[in-house]
Structure formats: C-alpha cells, structure tokens
Amino acid sequence: MAKIVKRTSDEIKDMRSRGEIMTDKERVSNFSEEAVERMALDDPDNFLKTDEDGAQAIIHRPGIRGPQKAPTKKSIAIRLSQDVVESFKSTGAGWQSRIDDALRKYLKEHPLKHA
C-alpha cells in the first residue's frame, strides 16, 4: 500500500503548474474493482462504508441552498428601481431579506385597504 501524503491546496497548485501528477497512474489502473472496494472499506477517513450510510449522508455544497424545512417566503419576480436594488445590494449578503423587512415595516405603518 502506498504512503498517504497530505498537501495544502497551494502545494497541489504548484505541483500541477509544474506538470507533476499526484497518482501512480499505472499502479492505480491495475487495481481490480474488488481491491478498490476493499481499500475504501479499510480507509479510516471513509465514513460511507455501506449503501445505507450513503443514503443517510447529507452532502453540503457551498453556495447551493437546500430546500427550506418549512417554506415561509414565496419566490416572485419584481421590478425595482436600479438605485434601490444597488443600495440594498451594497449592504452585503442578506440584502433581499432586508428588502422584505423594509416592506413589512412599511405595511405595518401603512396598512393597505383591501377591496
């Protein structure tokens, strides 16, 4: 079994820029499917040892939001003045929620008359 070496992302980028590969392609290509499965099961860092483990796994993908547990907001398309959007966007993450808060505050202070 080969020695496992941990590297930083900067070290990996440097290796790739020099054209160095990080696997022994010939050795790896000769592994049987059974050998790969056995190595995966023996890997102490592998927490997905069975199909059941995989089915129960929650995979986090940064930047991709999952479904809300209890949806409380409705997705709509709305046209706003460019300066309004830019002002809210300039406040950073959560700007859409701040627009929602501003509209909610306005409605509280200025109740609408329903027909």
- Name the residue with higher pLDDT: 2 or 20: 20
Query: What confidence tens digit (pLDDT) does each residue in 37-77 have?
Result: 888 888 888 877 777 887 887 777 777 777 777 778 888 99
Query: What confidence tens digit (pLDDT) does each residue in 12-33 have?
Result: 888 888 888 767 777 778 888 8
Residues in Cβ contact with 98 at an 8 Å cutoff, skipping those fewer than 6 apart? 88, 91
Coil, strand or helix at 38: helix
Average pLDDT over residues 86-101: 93
- pLDDT confidence of residue 1: 55
User: What is the C-alpha separation between 21 and 35, in angstroms, rounded?
Assistant: 22
Coil, strand or helix at 86: helix
pTM (2 d.p.): 0.41
List the Cα angle 82/86/92 in 5-degree steps. 155
Q: Per the structure block, which two tokens stand in for 56?
A: 């129960």
